[in-house]
Amino acid sequence: MTTPAPDLLHLRAAGVSLVLDCAGPLLPRVLHWGADLGDVAVAELEALRLASIPQIAGATVDLPVPLSVVPEQSVGWLGTPGVTGHRHGASFSTAFRLSGAVTLGAGEHPGSQRVSVRATDDDAALALVLDLELTASGLVRTRVALTSTAGADVPEFMLSSLDLSLPVPTEADEILDFTGRWIRERTAQRKPFTFGTHLREVRKGRGHDATLIVAAGRAGFGYRSGEVWGVHVAWSGNSRILAEKIQGGARHLAAGELLLAGEIILAAGQTYTSPWVFGSYGDGLDDMSARFHTYLRARPQHPSVANGRPERPVLINVWEAVYFDHRLDKLVALADEAAAIGVERYVLDDGWFRHRRDDHAGLGDWFVDEVVWPDGLSPLIDHVRGLGMQFGLWFEPEMINPDSDLARAHPEWILATGNRLPPEARFQQVLDLGHEGAYNYVLERIDAILTEYPIDYIKWDHNRDLIDAGHSPTGQAGVHNQAAALYRLIDEIRARHPRVEIESCSGGGGRADLGILDRTDRIWASDCIDALERQSIEAGTGLLVPPEMMGSHIGSPHCHTTGRRHDLSFRAGTAFFSHLGIEWDLTSASEADKAELAGWIALHKAHRGLLHTGTVVRADHPEPTTWVHGVVATDAAEAIFAVVQLSSGPNQGPGRVRLPGLDPTRQYRVQAIDPADAMGNRTGADRLQWWDDGVQLSGRTLDRVGVQAPMQNPEHLVLLHLVAVATARDA
């Protein structure tokens, strides 16, 4: 719902209000972004605008200093400006003025509302179009197209940065973001929202240490309570997000693409379009997160039954089972074992192409290795498909080994400054997709493989950072063009092979943003399959990515990346909620393990309709050693929760745990579910009296009181299944 006024706009959706002051002549500013204000009269919007004029502070400019969506120093704003750049030293500061009517119409997605604003700066010879949307799920998303209007005799405009800003109120006095590293991504960190600029940057084309979201809210905000405002950049190259508080009292979140020196140089008539910057408001992190999930699920290309796609198939990836040891008999045996326990998709990982016996050579030579595969991939693919499974294949299209036929033939296709090569990482360099020859070669090779073989799925990897990444022969920084070319490449492959699904792997978690998710069907959240590490990795990633798009695998008893050992129930219960997979040499598994694994797969299949469409909920349990999360059906008729003991705590057990997000007026039957329990693997000490028959409680009681959790050893979990019970009132 939208309330328009001549120069005020009140956009409303899903419990969110966005009030825009478009009076001009300055760029629009946000008067309110947050909880729905209801059906506000125009007179009240006018009063709100008057009440929102900043105070004139002492020892500063003699006019109120507005904070616009694109902040400008020319009006007195001395925080981070929205646009920075210059024309050989001139035009360093912009002063945009509205140049046409503000337009309001439908956005790109169903139910969204878009405001478009045009403005010019005649002195700097720049024009912009600002698009701002409120989606049906209550997300705000903004972007700017910046054009040089100068004549050919005027120096080019060298753009340094373009950031979009959203204000947050005084109540937002704490910042939450995420850090990490390879195999330990998405580690949460908090700090007070103090004076100055809290800046998070990605400078290497991807980021295991990058934050998906920077959020600000009332100190102590949790999953279920406390107002919170979060910002995300939908871009798969370099990016930046900042949280800033200045002495005048204003505080805001701003974000955009991080541009390296000289990456964007606008000649006369040329335009740079920023990535979309998303803002999400919520009463608690769950509310903020749900807006992203709802937005993604509403897209026509989302991998869902509602869009005519099958339920997310359980897969096996053979990487940790065989690594580079590709022997047909071994791979066929793995396929037989996988099919026998209910696997639906088989993925052949790294090692199938020419010269690829380890990670020292072969990247870029995308031809099936004639020595390892004398009859091509058909014998394996035919066997896999004959077992009723789909077939997937690994690629790393953006990378090249110096020891490859491609690198020897085209060294100029390597991203480099022009007079030196970047340091190698994992014995590889980056292939410059901004080079037309390299782009066409990769497109032709992937297209040829997908045309020759019936492949259903691509695992698209990206195993090194972009360092010293220049475009030859000029040496101009090339990260922006690389990301843009990547998008074009995936778009073209999908146009030619629309039924093929694509996973964004990127070393596991290195590229997990709404830009890549517009083009792919799954994120590989981390190369770490350790179930304990995965609990926090998936909790952080899941704030943005819904479970059905987040790959999670059941690994072998001995984790390859950390060396830990976990029970199968802990490994399987951790992967249970997401897009389930297996990464384990099943030919070495015991019959008992395979039987239990088959039980977990059957349980997942029985409930994946709920797991992959319901609302994700997390409890704010006071003891940090216990983690409680689950999924509640959209009609609240069913739910599944996991009670996870991460480590030993100070108490004998976790005590009662609350189960949030249910219908408070309905009664639920609560029962523990566990395939191992059905096989008699649970001991009496692990059991609670109500487990066998369940217990019936209201949603209100489950949320406010909870149930007694079992005494668990560290690194164990229990699944609880809740089903709404019909009552006389319901009837």
pLDDT in tens, 555-582: 999 999 999 999 999 999 999 999 999 9
Residue 630: its pLDDT value, please?
A: 98
DSSP 492: H
Provide the residue count of the chain: 731
Instruction: Name the residue with higher pLDDT: 683 or 542.
Output: 542
Annotated binding-site residue? 527:
yes
If you compute the radius of gyration of the chain from its CA atoms, what whole number of angstroms results? 27
Provide, rounded to the nearest whole percent, the portion of the chain with pLDDT above 90.
Answer: 90
The string of DSSP codes covering 252-314 is: EEEEEEBPPTTSEEE-TT-EEEPPPEEEEEEESHHHHHHHHHHHHHTSTTSSSGGGTPPP---
Annotated binding-site residue? 530:
no
Residue 731: its pLDDT value, please?
A: 35
Euclidean distance between CA atoms 129 and 135, whole angstroms:
19
Euclidean distance between CA atoms 398 and 418, whole angstroms:
19
Residue 1: its pLDDT value, please?
A: 64
Whether 407 and 499 have beta carbons less than 8 Å apart is answered as: no
Which range of residues forms the domain containing residue 635?
617-725
Annotated binding-site residue? 691:
no
Residue 678: its pLDDT value, please?
A: 46
Residue 680: its pLDDT value, please?
A: 43
pLDDT at 681 > cutoff 80: no
Amino acid identity, position 654: P
Residue 248: its pLDDT value, please?
A: 82
Residue 249: its pLDDT value, please?
A: 84
What is the number of H-type helices and E-type strands within the chain?
15, 42
Residue 504: its pLDDT value, please?
A: 98
Which pair of tokens denotes residue 272?
Answer: 């740079």
* Torsion angles phi and psi, residue 23, rounded to 5: -65, -30
Residue 115 lies in a domain: yes
What is the per-residue pLDDT across 615-665, written as a single tens digit (0 to 9) for each?
999 999 999 999 999 999 999 999 999 999 999 877 777 789 999 999 999
Last residue of a domain, one of 252, 274, 297: 297
Annotated binding-site residue? 330:
no
When divided into structural domains, the chain yields a total of 2
Residue 578 lies in a domain: no
Last residue of a domain, one of 249, 273, 297: 297
Q: Report the chain's mean pLDDT, rounded to a whole number.
A: 95
The string of DSSP codes covering 44-80 is: HHHHHHHHTPPP--TTS-SS-----SS--GGGT--S-
Q: Is 164 helix (H, G, I), strand (E, B) or coil?
A: strand
Euclidean distance between CA atoms 689 and 458, whole angstroms:
47
Which pair of tokens denotes residue 320?
Answer: 């940790």
Residue 552 lies in a domain: no
Annotated binding-site residue? 461:
yes
Annotated binding-site residue? 690:
no
Residue 547 lies in a domain: no
Residue 366 lies in a domain: no
Residue 687: its pLDDT value, please?
A: 66
Which pair of tokens denotes residue 332?
Answer: 């066929």
Q: How far is CA 230 from CA 172, 311, 365, 429, 660, in A?
A: 11, 31, 42, 35, 22
Residue 684: its pLDDT value, please?
A: 54
Annotated binding-site residue? 519:
no
Residue 679: its pLDDT value, please?
A: 39
Residue 20 lies in a domain: no
Range with lowest mean pLDDT among 429-433, 444-448, 591-595, 709-713: 709-713
Residue 121: its pLDDT value, please?
A: 98
The CATH number linked to 117 is 2.70.98.60
Residue 276 lies in a domain: yes
Residue 366: its pLDDT value, please?
A: 98
Question: Per-residue pLDDT averaged across 465-493, rounded?
Answer: 95
Annotated binding-site residue? 229:
no
Provide, rounded to the nearest whole percent, the portion of the chain with pLDDT above 70.
Answer: 98
Instruction: Name the residue with higher pLDDT: 691 or 137.
Output: 137
Annotated binding-site residue? 465:
no
Q: What pTM was estimated for this model as a whole?
A: 0.97
Residue 472 lies in a domain: no
Q: If pLDDT is split at 50, 70 and 90, which confidence band does 20 have? A: very high
Last residue of a domain, one of 278, 297, 316: 297
Annotated binding-site residue? 287:
no
Q: Which residues of 212-240 are buried (b: 16+ CB within 10 A; e: fewer)?
A: bbbbbbeeebebbbbbbbbbbbbbbbbbb
Q: Residues 670, 674, 679, 681: what is their CA dihedral angle, to the nearest 10 degrees?
A: -100
pLDDT at 303 > cutoff 60: yes
- Pick the closest to residue 461 from 349, 547, 355 (CA basis): 349
Write down the H helix ranges in 546-590: 568-575
Write down the H helix ranges in 418-560: 436-452, 479-496, 506-509, 514-517, 531-541
Catalytic positions: 461, 527
Is 697 buried (19+), middle (13-18) or exposed (0-12) by CB count in 10 A? buried
Euclidean distance between CA atoms 49 and 33, whole angstroms:
13
pLDDT at 682 > cutoff 60: no
Euclidean distance between CA atoms 525 and 551, whole angstroms:
6
Annotated binding-site residue? 499:
no
Question: Per-residue pLDDT averaged across 19-41, rounded?
Answer: 96
Residue 22: its pLDDT value, please?
A: 95
Q: If pLDDT is split at 50, 70 and 90, which confidence band does 246 have? A: very high
pLDDT at 415 > cutoff 80: yes
